Amino acid sequence: MSADQPPWPLPDGPWHLAQEWHHVLFLHWPVDSRALRPLVPSLLEIDTRDGCAWVTALPFMMRRLRPRGPPALPWLSSFPQLNVRTYVTLDGRPGVFLLRVMVGNPMTVAVARRLFHLPYARASLSFREEAEGFVFTCRQTSRDRNGAGERPLDFAARYCPEAHAFHPAPGSLEHWLSERFRYYAAGPEGRVWKGDLDHPAWALRGARVEIVQNLWPAELGIEAGDPPLSHYSRRQTVRAWLPGPAGGRGHA
């Protein structure tokens, strides 16, 4: 199997959404799985590594977001985004469960909630390049009670890539955290949804990080100190399929 081929079969039908992630920062924290259990539907098993669950914050610059067919529209398809996720399995299939997705575009929030059942919330985000790296900030502007934004998830960091790019070796923690090809989401009435992803193998580099502000762990009821593992990726292309029911209900 090639490095660019996902280890799981992809859906028979065509993908529905294409996107590019630029200047991605991975910030990984090991946490007690019991702290995550109230946040994750009971149908999903919290995936652990060496006895620890993990949560990851991914600030990045979204570019060329588009549905299949039409070209990307610059004023709608490029914006900063912050994902906060953990790792789960269902019937042995590993994936990610998104705890929160922060973006500034209200249309993106509305479409993602309706079609992908994902916990998008509105925020004021900014991304800029500096001489030695990048600065990312997220400020939730209001309480968003239609979706997941019940609590503010303010975050700010400076980061700079270091060393040479590498592809995580199968079996390594970095591979376990990055190479995931399914997302799970909690929809209305407690139903769990599953969707597939396709992307080339991640090319990662070490990252030097200064976290200026980080409110999200405590606001989600998670205890987390400084992230012990940080990586940078310059660019990733992702294709996504619309989710379908995962076969049951599981209330968070």
- CA dist 49 to 30, 31, 87, 88, 189, Å? 9, 11, 10, 11, 31
Map residue 78 onto helix, strand or coil. coil
Q: What is the model's pLDDT at position 237?
A: 97
Write down the domain spans for the chain.
Answer: 17-241
CA atoms within 13 A on the CB side of 187: 20
Q: How high is the pLDDT of residue 220?
A: 79
Which parts of the chain sit beneath pLDDT 50?
1-3, 145-149
Q: Both tokens of residue 163? A: 């060393």
Task: Determine the length of the chain.
Answer: 252
* pLDDT score, position 146: 44
Find all residues with CB under 8 Å of 151, minimum gap 6, and list them.
143, 219, 220
The pLDDT of residue 224 is: 75
**Which one, of 224, 200, 231, 189, lies nearest residue 5 by Cα?**
200
CATH number of 17-241: 2.40.400.10
What pLDDT is attached to residue 152? 60
